[in-house]
Amino acid sequence: MFIFVLFRNADGPLYDSSAYTECKKDPESPLYKGGILENHIPPVNHSLDNAGTGVYSPAFVLSNLTQGTKYCFSSYVPVLTLFLFLAIIIYDFATWVQIKGAESAQIRASLSTEHKNSTYKCIGTVIARSGCWSFLKGGFVLNSSSNTSLLFFQNADEGLVDISIASSSLQPFTDEQWSKNQEYKINTERKRAVTLHVSDTQGNIVEGAQISVQQISKEFPFGSAIAKTIIGNLPYQDWFVKRFNAAVFENELKWYATEPEQGKINYTIADQMLKFIRANQIAVRGDELKTAVSLRIQSLMSKYKEEFIHWDVSNEMLHFDFYEQKLGPNATLDFFKTAHQSDPLATLFMNEFNVVETCTDVNSTVDSYILRVKELKRGGATMDGIGLEGHFAAIYLEQVLREGFSHPSVNGIMLWTALHPNGCYEMCLTDNEIHNLPAGDVVDKLLQEWQTGERKGKTDEHGSYSFFGFLGEYNVNVTYGSKSINSTFSLCKSDETRHFSIKL
């Protein structure tokens, strides 16, 4: 698989989101032509221990790295010295890796500085193989400036392998440039140009007609977990409906909740929650089918067939293999097949944590996730979505949400922020009186930013009125003299301008 996207930024470099998942005979050319590594001499060999074992790694010696700089890296060569005097920079890093001495190994890129206890153990990782080249991509932002830093590579399980790197690149982005890239991606992926054409019943264009346009719903699913605390809680229901167009039940569909005693199934609470969802036309997804065997899956999905648009069939399976141990190596595959047979219209997901927020977890690297998805699909699993579960401190909420919304492959965001009297799992959006907390203010700010505000104007000499709007549903009112008409139209993803005609 190969993903290639370039994003335009008139004030700086284009962010290159290219990613390769196959092992290639030859490495591709370096991203950004190497970035600040272009035309530098090859890297040095760095000893990975002090015991004289002769274990070395290719490494880059970096000078004067700046605090707050975001570094993005890609690689073709192993040694060099860099002199960086950049403030508030993101460094984007990538490289091609090949090994000898083992059939495959998880190779980790790390960064150490001269400061005590200041080693970034993982800034990127890849499962590298012998005889072909694998693509490693990552990046870093320093907590403090460093006069001399060392970017090196090692086997994550500390086994002895010979590591070669090629087509390396290190590209800096200022915060402003990174934000401009996000803005460009949002404008191209989440918005579309619209032209409204107004004419009379004889087909004559109408110049000077008053136009009022308002977005009434959003195409991008942005939601939150809900718990039974939402039942009968009218202030919280009102707060939720004003913000979110998607929801997931926190625990109310899990086996222990709907069958507290063996053989005694009770969906009363789930039904009451679903009634609220239906009444407010909120898309809902089901969580935690991993805790079900065949009869349980059939019971749950048959009852709520075509009610839940998504189901997490496999949740956190890279970390936990209880059912594989008890039911055999194809347990998860069988779950997917049973789920698809029970509700063919539902989109089935595999979900996992520690894929995006860290690369130090050897169980859930990007490569491990991709390999498992491919295994299930080869076995016949119907899976049209993947979940990237992340656990971040509330202070990073805005950054994480902006990254997700601006990424073209992200098709929805779900917050695990169900309301509870004693607090939420990680961060609450409101207090128990339904007053916003700081995290709730962040969500409100972004929801307001990612919605088309009311547009007002007049048709031009061509009888047209144009604007740029977020994808979703719109109401439009056209008034000319004593005539007035209301209509609706939708904006779906397309590179072409949406043309909508209205007759007075």
- Secondary structure (3-state) at 373: helix
Residue type at 326?
K
Q: For the domain 2-183, what is the CATH code? A: 2.60.120
**What are 301's strand-pairing partners?**
none
**Could you read off the pLDDT of 425-463 as tens digits, one per residue?**
678 899 999 999 999 999 999 999 999 999 999 999 999
Query: What is the share, in percent, of the chain residues with pLDDT greater than 90?
Result: 46
**What is the model's pLDDT at position 42?**
57
Highest mean pLDDT: which range of 23-37, 110-124, 306-320:
23-37
- Secondary structure (3-state) at 442: helix
**What is the model's pLDDT at position 66?**
66
Determine how many CB atoms are found less than 10 A away from the CB of residue 306.
10
The H or E element spanning position 372 is: helix 366-378
**Domain segments of the chain: what residues?**
2-183, 190-217+451-503, 220-439
pLDDT confidence band for 5 (50 / 70 / 90): very low
Residue type at 137?
K
pLDDT confidence band for 38 (50 / 70 / 90): confident
User: From the centroid of its chain, how far is CA 452?
Assistant: 22
Single out the residue of 314, 253, 319, 318 nearest to residue 286, CA to CA: 253
The H or E element spanning position 187 is: helix 175-189
pLDDT confidence band for 496 (50 / 70 / 90): very high
Strands (E), 70-145: 70-76, 81-83, 89-100, 104-113, 119-129, 134-141
Integer Cα distance of 356 and 366 in angstroms = 8
**What is the model's pLDDT at position 282?**
94
Highest mean pLDDT: which range of 251-260, 320-329, 484-493:
484-493
Q: What is the mean pLDDT of residues 5-17?
A: 61
CATH superfamily of 190-217+451-503: Immunoglobulins (2.60.40.10)
Name the least confident of 206-220, 228-242, 395-409, 447-461.
Answer: 395-409
**What is the model's pLDDT at position 329?**
83
Question: What average pLDDT does the structure give for the chain?
Answer: 84
Whether 381 contacts 190, CB under 8 Å = no
Q: What are phi and psi for residue 162, nearest 5 degrees?
A: -95, 120
> Does residue 228 register a pLDDT over 70?
yes
DSSP 275-308: HHHHHTT-EEEE--GGG--HHHHHHHHHHTTTT-
> Over 37-80, what HEC string results?
CCCCCCCEEEECCCCCCCCEEEEEEEEEECECCEEEEEEECCCC
**Could you read off the pLDDT of 123-133 as tens digits, one per residue?**
999 999 999 99
> Does residue 393 register a pLDDT over 80?
no
> Does residue 80 register a pLDDT over 60?
no
**What is the model's pLDDT at position 49?**
56
Packing angle, helices 175-189 and 397-406, rounded to 10: 50
**What is the model's pLDDT at position 102?**
93
Query: What is the share, in percent, of the chain residues with pLDDT greater than 70?
Result: 87
Name the CA radius of gyration of the chain, rounded: 26
- 220-439 carries CATH number 3.40.50.880: no
Residue 264 DSSP one-character state: B
